[in-house]
Amino acid sequence: MRLGAIFPHNEIGTDPDAITTWATAVQNLGYQHIMAFDHVLGAGTRNRPGWRGYTSADAFHEVFVLFGYLAAVTTTVELVTGVLIVPQRQTALVAKQAAEIDLLSKGRLRLGIGVGWNDVEYHALGQDFTTRGKRAEEQIAVLRALWAEPEITFEGRWHSIPDAGINPRPARGTIPLWLGGHSTATLDRVGRLGDGWLPLVPPGPQAVEMLRRVHHAAQHAGRDPHDIGIEVKVSLPTGSMDSRLPFLHDWRALGATHATVETHGAGRTLREHLAVLEEAARTYQRYGDT
């Protein structure tokens, strides 16, 4: 499995030098990708009693701008969104921004996408929360068409593009699209359309059943299920990587291709985040050698 690190949004702060230090250290430690989360707006809680989830007090660096910066200060690590909430955005603009990041990073972008859970963001961004899944599916088709061809004509339920295109386009003619989520509709979408899946469930019967659904959808669409990557998250708010090796072992047995280490959630300093990542990388290397 390829090993990555999750950008500690809520704890990294706003100092560009600290962001550079974190990203270059992650690269130097041998991590193969950096994953960043996405939220445009956080909900205020004053008039939302019982609100659960991220709020306006939680910091999230804007992911495309962040990746433009990281493309300049790193050279080898893949840049991964985990996940970009595409249905609350204009699709052509996402295609343009993603192509630019891919260009500036010399082909290092992997776009993890999802439909999200925060209706407050959708409302504030002028998009319909209730149709987000179906809209995301049409967006996948539009994104891939805009990346592949100089001009396209597309007529769908949400998109009308009359003989137009983006320039520049990604050198590869595409950008990998990995899907996050666990609903039945999402799992079918992963199998039919996704380059990979970003599950947030532990290995076990539930994960096995979800993978069975993904593989069935892939086979029904004429795809090889083994071509679909799987990336799991290894949370280390406390404890060590040693304690998470059974989790990694079981997911690897299920076909996981990537694992990403999450260190935020315990109020760590920059130095403490990097110390945890250094220990995790050493432990993972020993695990990979066994």
pLDDT digits (tens, 9 = 90+) for 271-281: 999 999 999 99
Rounded to 5°, the CA angle 33-39-40 comes to: 125
Q: Is pLDDT at 26 greater than 90 in this prediction?
A: yes
What's residue 139's pLDDT?
Answer: 98
What's the average model confidence in pLDDT over 37-61? 94
- The two three-digit tokens of residue 105, written as one number: 């990073």
159's enclosing H/E stretch is: none
CA dist., res. 144 & res. 175, Å (int): 8
What's residue 239's pLDDT?
Answer: 83
pLDDT in tens, 227-266: 999 999 999 988 889 999 999 999 999 999 999 999 999 9
CATH number of 13-55+72-174: 3.20.20.30
- The two three-digit tokens of residue 110, written as one number: 């992997």
- The whole-chain average pLDDT of the chain stands at 96
pLDDT band with cut points at 50, 70 and 90 for residue 197:
very high
pTM for the model: 0.96
What's residue 218's pLDDT?
Answer: 98
pLDDT in tens, 68-119: 999 999 999 999 999 999 999 999 999 999 999 999 999 999 999 999 999 9
Reported residue count of the chain is 290
113's enclosing H/E stretch is: strand 109-114
pLDDT band with cut points at 50, 70 and 90 for residue 187:
very high
Q: Is pLDDT at 289 greater than 70 in this prediction?
A: no
Residues 179/198, Cβ–Cβ less than 8 Å: yes
